[in-house]
Amino acid sequence: MKNTRKIKKQNSHSETSKTETKLSNSIFKENIYTNFSVLDLVTLGIYLVSQKKETCTFERLVAECFTHFPKVFGLKRYPQWPDTLKFDRVTRTLREKGLVIGGIGGKKSPGEFKLTEFGISVAKNIEKIITKNHSSKYAKEKSSATIRSIDDKLIDYIRQNVYYKRYTQNSEAFSISEAELRNLLRCTLETPTRVVKQNLTYFINTAKEYREKEILDFLLTCESKIFTS
């Protein structure tokens, strides 16, 4: 009986070791990717799935991130299994930041996640940093910069936007359609109004944090013309 238990224990340990060895074959180095935030890695995960021309459902995203970044996305007590709870809040944050659209799910939707143009640029930047053979310390510094740069790039994006330039040329005569506002907020015509408003709120809060008064006035004007008029 004791021998049977010993054999089972050895087999279990062997299977876990095989799983860990398989997962450790990721193209990304553990000492590098573990210095990046979950938000960064999920953004990159969505990008990697899209590069394979596959639909990025929640399950597909979990598989992609767990395969490439097992140390971050594995359960603590059972590292051979993914921790799906790590994805829920992060995917909501990505939508709020304007990096991702979709992922809502439902009977008529596979819940596909898609990066916006802004999200793609951020993902490419993360991929560029994470794939280079930098030291762990360098990766950690760059990761922090990447997280902060999301909002930095958002401000630059607004400043270079054609609708904002139109506003600065003549704020009193400025007008914007709902389709144009959705374009500004990186939303499609199919994006739920709730998500559009969430993105606008995030843009407004970011402008407040950066004390960009003219950008804030512009966004508030857009809000009043579409949602409070």
Q: pTM for the complete prediction?
A: 0.58
Q: What residues in the chain have per-residue pLDDT under 50?
A: 2, 4-24, 105-109, 134-145, 147
Determine the topology of domain 2-148 in CATH: Arc Repressor Mutant, subunit A (1.10.10)
pLDDT of residue 129: 84
Break the chain into its structural domains and give their ranges: 2-148, 161-229
pLDDT of residue 1: 52
HEC letters along the chain: CHHHHHHHHHHHHHHHHHHHHHHCCCCCCHHHHCCCCHHHHHHHHHHHHHHCCCCCCHHHHHHHHHHHCHHHHECCCCCCCECCHHHHHHHHHHHHCCCEEECCCCCCCCCCEEECHHHHHHHHHHHHHHHCCCCHHHHHHHHHHHHHHHHHHHHHHHHHCHHHHHHHHCCCCCCCCHHHHHHHCCCCCCCCHHHHHHHHHHHHHHHHHCCCHHHHHHHHHHHHHHHCC
pLDDT of residue 26: 62
Reported as a single tens digit per residue, the pLDDT across 58-86 is 999 999 999 999 999 999 888 899 999 99
Reported as a single tens digit per residue, the pLDDT across 25-37 is 567 888 888 888 8
